[in-house]
Amino acid sequence: MAKENNSPLPLRLKQARKAKDISQKELGIRLGMEPGTASARMNQYEQGKHTPDYTTLKRMADELGVPVAYFFCSSEKSARLVCLLESLSDSEKDTLIDMLLTGSQK
């Protein structure tokens, strides 16, 4: 019986890579993988057959311009919000937190 993978990581990885318009091989090479195996390794991640360790995942996120948390968002809206939040300055994040906390107390 095949193992079912419900992780959003494979889909998010593929979406982020395609948004940057780079191939699996190119991404793998940028991450320091051997050119001969880069495409196959990235394909294994995008198919959910293997899961990258945190260090590799962080390097992927940095290369693709998304926060690591993006890979674990189960909905499109959550993924978009995580990216938007990451683009805010610390001051803007503090303001947003204050606004959300104040709004929830009404």
Q: Predicted confidence band at 61 (pLDDT cuts at 50, 70, 90)?
A: very high
Instruction: Spell out the residues 6+ positions from residue 97 whose beta carbon is closer than 8 angstroms to its own.
Output: none
Q: What is the mean pLDDT of residues 2-12?
A: 78
User: For 11-38, what is each residue's pLDDT tens digit?
Assistant: 999 999 999 999 999 999 999 999 999 9
Global pTM value = 0.84
